[in-house]
């Protein structure tokens, strides 16, 4: 499948971090971390920047290869098991996003339409998009993500007169417990940035691009989180299913434009489709790494159909998705932080050992 440009990689990275996160995540983190929730986002950003630096050093030592390829080539059958585990992880994440996006569209736009029909249309869009290659996914991200960010920022600015800064106080009321809870929940979206080194080699993915993606996405997450907190209060936002959507519904520009939430949600929907498409692309690419004779494009429709069945079988409602998100940071710590760091350190050690053997005189 074709490659994407550097700008498209950055945009896809920040889309993968914040697209599905904007729906239910602010309510989850505000429910438990309360007024100290904002600390979690910059803390997790620093942690992931350190992980990305290690990964970038590894990719630089093995030019032209992504992490999936390195796992299979350097670790043999163990690497294929790791790649298979990432397929299962991304399948679960894709099922969560599909169920969450389907229920959100069902509630906001199409309350009388069967959920399975909405999910099938979303999955079909992702299948056609991924069959065209990662370049098509990048072009869609390049088209919709900047427009959505601009509109979302304008919506947040319109809410400034209604913000109450007293909802940010008192700081550290429960000591470091609530900030640590904020870090725990912030790991879920920010850890997703590790999808980029799984997709791209050092020829297209650099540490500078990863820094730009994570800083922009974290800035947007922090902006949405603070707007929800100062507009709705952490107590109220923590009991809402879609706090960001409820905050946007407070905007009333004129008597004739009293549903400003509709264009924002209309622009948000392509972002969740793009994220699901990225997951679908990585899953098919990972399957090709495990079985080299397999052509990635041929399995895209089958994987897309499987995700629809899997998502509806595992998650009956989006409430169950929220419950899973409470424990999701455990998987993020293990699969997006520990495994890449340990695997990359091992690859760097192997590369230095091989270099020392080549330099050793015969």
pTM confidence score: 0.93
Using CA atoms, how far apart are residues 57 and 293, in angstroms rounded to an integer?
30
First to last CA, the chain: 43
* Length of the chain as a residue count: 362
Query: Is residue 255's pLDDT more than 70?
Result: no
Check residue 262 and give its pLDDT.
76
Give the confidence band of 254 by pLDDT, cuts at 50, 70, 90: low
What average pLDDT does range 150-175 have in this prediction? 84
Q: Please report the DSSP string for 312-333 in residue order.
A: HHH-SSHHHHHHHHHHHHHHII
Greater confidence (81 vs 161) lies with: 81
The CA distances from residue 11 to 19, 140, 179, 209, in Å, are 11, 10, 29, 10
Give the confidence band of 259 by pLDDT, cuts at 50, 70, 90: low
Percent of the chain with pLDDT strictly greater than 70:
96
The answer to whether 35 touches 169, Cβ cutoff 8 Å, is: yes
- Among 97, 42, 127, 53, which Cα is nearest to 298's? 127
Query: Which residues lie closer than 8 Å to 131 by C-beta, 6 or more apart?
Result: 297, 300, 301
Query: Which residues lie closer than 8 Å to 235 by C-beta, 6 or more apart?
Result: 34
Query: Is residue 221's pLDDT more than 60?
Result: yes
Query: Which residues lie closer than 8 Å to 237 by C-beta, 6 or more apart?
Result: 26, 27, 30, 31, 228, 229, 243, 246, 247
The answer to whether 26 touches 222, Cβ cutoff 8 Å, is: no
Check residue 154 and give its pLDDT.
87
Q: Which of 143-157, 204-218, 271-285, 345-359 has the largest mean confidence?
A: 271-285
Query: Is residue 357's pLDDT more than 80?
Result: no
């Amino acid at each position: 499948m074709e490659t994407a440009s550097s700008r498209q990689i950055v945009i896809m990275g920040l889309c993968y971090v914040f697209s599905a996160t904007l729906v239910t995540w602010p309510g989850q983190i505000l429910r438990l971390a309360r007024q100290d929730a904002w600390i979690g986002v910059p803390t997790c950003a620093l942690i992931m920047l350190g992980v990305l630096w290690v990964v970038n050093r590894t990719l630089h030592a093995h030019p032209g290869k992504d992490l999936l390829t390195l796992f299979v080539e350097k670790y043999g059958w163990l690497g294929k098991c790791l790649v298979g585990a990432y397929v299962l992880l991304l399948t679960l994440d894709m099922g969560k996003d599909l169920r969450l996006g389907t229920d959100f569209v069902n509630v906001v736009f199409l309350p009388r339409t069967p959920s399975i029909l909405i999910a099938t249309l979303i999955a079909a869009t992702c299948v056609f998009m991924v069959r065209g290659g990662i370049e098509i996914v990048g072009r869609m991200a390049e088209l919709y993500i900047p427009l959505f960010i601009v509109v979302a920022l304008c919506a947040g600015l319109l809410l400034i007169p209604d913000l109450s800064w007293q909802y940010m106080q008192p700081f550290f009321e429960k000591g470091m417990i609530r900030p640590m809870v904020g870090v725990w929940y912030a790991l879920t979206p920010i850890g997703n940035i590790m999808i980029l080194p799984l997709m791209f080699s050092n020829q297209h993915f650099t540490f500078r691009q990863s820094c730009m993606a994570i800083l922009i996405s974290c800035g947007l997450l922090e902006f949405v989180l603070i707007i929800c907190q100062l507009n709705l209060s952490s107590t109220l936002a923590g009991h809402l299913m879609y706090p960001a959507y409820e905050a946007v519904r407070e905007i009333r520009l004129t008597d004739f434009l009293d549903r400003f939430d509709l264009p924002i949600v209309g622009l948000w929907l392509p972002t969740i489709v793009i994220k699901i498409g990225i997951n679908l692309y990585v899953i098919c690419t990972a399957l090709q790494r495990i079985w080299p004779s397999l052509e990635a494009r041929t399995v895209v429709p089958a994987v897309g159909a499987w995700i629809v069945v899997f998502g509806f079988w595992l998650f009956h409602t989006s409430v169950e998705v929220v419950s899973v998100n409470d424990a999701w940071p455990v998987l993020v710590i293990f699969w997006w932080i520990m495994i890449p760091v340990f695997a990359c350190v091992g690859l760097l050690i192997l590369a230095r050992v091989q270099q020392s053997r080549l330099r050793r005189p015969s």
